[in-house]
Structure 1
Amino acid sequence: MANANDAIHINQSSSISRTVTILFATACGMSVANIYFAQPLLDELSNDFAIDQSIIGLIITITQIFYGLGLLLLVPLGDLLNQGRLIIGQMLLSIVALLIVGTATYVAVLFAGIALVGLLAVVTQSMVAFAATMASSTERGRVVGIVTSGIVIGILLARTFAGLLTDLAGWRSVYLVSAALLLLMVGLFLKVLPKGEREVKSLSYWQLIQSVFTLFIQERTLRIRSVIAMLIFADFSILWTPLVLPLSATPLSLSHSVIGAFGLVGVAGALAAAHAGKLADRGYGQKTTGIALMLLLLSWLFINYLEQSLWALVVGIVLLDLAVQAVHVTNQAMILPLRTEARSRLTAGYMVFYSIGSAGGSIASTQTYALFGWEGVSFLGASISTIALLFWAMTKRFTNY
């Protein structure tokens, strides 16, 4: 039997293989995509279940609320239980949730299934923390960068995947196919995840959740980087939430399939930013953050010209997704080493701010578009970018990384 140190620090002398890292990234992308599938399907769901269009948007709200609850209530369990078994268990329950949604015939069942999908999608963050634990200290940033890129790519491609499958076989196929693919991933994970037992802590569940808040009090780097995460993901949502509105309206009047293709553009930026983890490993985390936040601000100059030039929008999307992903990867590379025994709780606390920023950005951007149009949205995005850059400049001296 492995001793306690080996149980907590899995194979710290060697790093996770590239194949397993990519497997983690793929599973993360597939899992997080589940909570974004419904966005392009609202009309289909409204018609199929005879739900008024003023109410159908609750599906998105419910998903996000339960995702936030999962971040706080489920992700910290990675510091208490065997991480491999926890991940497998959550993935299996996610499959059940997807099947419930895909076969639902009653509105109550649909909403319950959607809530479970959101709650269990936080397995992505459990995987990030576990991958960081499996990686050696010299390559942790690189590994986190690759795995986190999988999450961002999953978010960006979810709408495209859902739209294509819905056109081919109806909206239910989206959730049923996702369940089948996730089952395949479970089989692969059973083969590659470490089989060793993890020492179970003496903390109670309530003490575990309380300690998430204690970490915020104790770790200044966590507080600073969480605020930066909140701001950059607010910016991310400010772009992507209302983007369909000007693109589908006159004079552009683009089809939904063409609009969905802009998610593919964002993937280029996300992939390029995966290298930010390597820079963090070499001690360039602060410089990477500063450059990325300047690019984030610059991106809105191009995005503002959406109605005049789609090419300007493409450049802006690439810059924005590159910047957001680079900062996100760097944030995690700086946070996860703070407490090796509390990586899941550090991840949970950090991602709660991510969730707050995403939700706030979505609400603010749609309201701003209704009142001031796309120029107002661009001004809002640029303002948040400026605040993020100033906040980083004022706090960078407090962290040595």
Structure 2
Amino acid sequence: MSLTVGRRTLLAVLCAAAVASVYAAQPVLARIGDDLGVPQARLGWIVAAGQLGYLAGLAVLVPLGDVADRRRLIAWHLLLTAAGAALAATATGVWTLLAALVAAGLFAVVVQTAVAYTAALSAPGERGRDLGAVTSGVVIGILGARVAAGALAAVWGWRGVYAVLAVLLATLALLAVRVLPPDTRAARPAYRQVLRSLGGLFRERLFLSRGLIAFFLFASFGTLWSGLALPLAAAPWHLSTAQIGLFGLAGLAGALGAGRAGRRADSGAADAVTGGALLLLAVSWLAVGQASWSLWLVVIGVVVLDFAVQAVHVSSQHLLTTAHPDRTGSVVGGYMIFYSLGSALGATTTTLAFAGAGWTGSSVLGAAFAGCALAVWAFGRRAAAGPHPPAGAPPKEEAADAGPLTPPAPCRG
């Protein structure tokens, strides 16, 4: 089966809207705090609530995609995410808001169900292209939410941000039922079997190596986007929140430019794409680290960094869903657990590094995470190739999941 342009676009848009419900609070935290009387020191919990819900959903809800009708699952999860956003828009107390954001984050994992559905619907020679297009929607949601939420809040306040999200998500749920093709799988495993198989993935070489790459990849990504506002708001720039938010557009340009990585993966070059992109990721920090004297170098670095992150992300998902076509939901959900943990690591350590050594410290940290990801990739290639591959062995990218992987010594940023 081949995805039409319209269906591919719908999947990308619903991914953008769902993931935006997790990140929309970031640019309006101060307004939420003023409205609900939340002390500045506790504002971080508002962002953390959605992230915690999302992490739980990856482990519990995404595997349902291998059991239930995916089209209906996508529609229901969109509606429940809309309900969480609507509750957030009407919250009168901080505990209600936190519960609403946990619920929205929990069901926002519809993003990963949509990615797995895309992989299942795509023709083998078009899977990388389709995954690249749909996961671009995820990046648009993550980075675009900062820009859109700031603009909406200026007109309708922070509650208006969540009200618009609720209406958009409910509309997309209806469109998903009408536009997406039915799930025609004849045999589906039991949910208990899927959860057991998810645990088994952590013993596979390909899954573990790609998971560790994702962990360090998104730790580097989180180091940038959770810390960049600090040097930009300080001397000599003193940029406003709205001006800082515009740097998200540079990130969008880079991430969307990585769509060609999916086509390269379709041609069998997914592993080479990963290595080249990780090298770019490490180099990008040389430019990003110059925030104290050149905004143009920061913009260039942001474009290159987000290009590299998206290229690695698409190539990894291409390899994993190709290796496990019968359980794309489980493998994508398990892979994204590494993503969430890495993002959290980057977000929490970048502020510590900035407090101790300024933006130079944060940049060294981000580059170190990139170097760790590159080391895992290089180690995985050597382990997959082996000293003397047997005659008739599968290509390196396919042989990578042939057995357990002993990870290298942990890198420390």
Bin the TM-score by the shorter chain: over 0.9
Residue pair 2:76, 2:173 contacting (<8 A) in 1 also: no
SS at 2:124's partner residue?
coil
Structure 2 counterparts to residues 182-331 of structure 1, below 5 A? 182-199=169-186, 201-203=188-190, 205-217=191-203, 219-331=204-316
Equivalent position of 2:356 in the other structure? 371
Residue 198 of structure 1: how far off its partner (Å): 3.9
Q: Describe how 1:1-400 pairs up with structure 2 within 5 A.
A: 14-199=1-186, 201-203=188-190, 205-217=191-203, 219-397=204-382, 398=384, 399-400=396-397
CA displacement, residues 157-182 of structure 1 (integer Å, 9 cap, x when unaligned): 11111111111111000000011111
The equivalent of 2:387 in structure 1 is none
- Note the C-alpha offset of 1:374: 0.3
Deviation at 1:196, TM superposition (A): 4.8
Aligned partners of 1:347 and 1:288: how far apart in 2? 19
Q: What is the SS of the residue equivalent to 1:61?
A: helix
Q: Give the whole-Å Cα distance in 2 for the aligned partners of 1:55 and 1:302.
A: 33
Structure 1 69/337 Cα, relative in aligned 2: closer, same or farther at 3 Å? same
Taking every aligned residue pair, what percent have the same amino acid on both sides? Answer: 43
CA–CA distance in 2 between the matches of 1:196 and 1:316?
42
Q: Cα deviations across residues 49-85 of structure 1 (Å, max 9, x unaligned)?
A: 1111111211112211111000000000000111111
Shift of 1:195: 2.9
- 2:410 aligned residue: none
Opposite residue 209 of structure 1, the aligned amino acid is L
Structure-2 separation of matches of 1:339 and 1:326: 20
In structure 1, list runs of 5 or more residues that go unmatched.
Answer: 1-13
Cα 1:393–1:196 shift into 2, 3 Å: closer
Q: Which amino acid in structure 2 is aligned with residue 44 of structure 1?
A: R
SS at match of 2:246: helix
Separation in 1, partners of 2:114, 2:332: 10
| AA aligned opposite 1:48 | D
| Conserved? CA contact 2:280–2:308, under 8 Å | yes
**Residue identity in the other structure for 1:400:** E
Question: What TM-score comes out, normalization by structure 1 length?
Answer: 0.94
Partner residue in 1 for 2:402: none
CA contact (8 A) 2:74 2:176 kept: no
RMSD between superposed Cα atoms in Å: 1.2
**Cross-structure match for 1:8:** none
Q: How many residues align?
A: 386
CA positional deviation for 1:210 = 2.3
TM-score, length-normalised on structure 2? 0.91
> C-alpha distance in 1, partners of 2:232/2:380?
38
- Alpha-carbon distance, 1:23 to partner: 1.2
Give the distance between the partners of 2:358 and 2:165, measured in 1 at CA: 36
- Please say if residues 81 and 200 of structure 1, whose CA atoms lie closer than 8 Å, have aligned partners that are also in contact: no
User: What letter is aligned with 1:354?
Assistant: Y
Moved more, 91-100 or 193-202: 193-202
How far apart, CA to CA, are the structure 2 residues paired with 1:199 and 1:95? 31
Task: Tell me the residue number matched to 1:7.
Answer: none
Contact in 2 for aligned 1:81/1:198 (Cα 8 Å): no
Find the counterpart in structure 1 of residue 403 from structure 2: none
**Partner Cα separation in structure 1 for residue 189 and residue 262 of structure 2:** 33
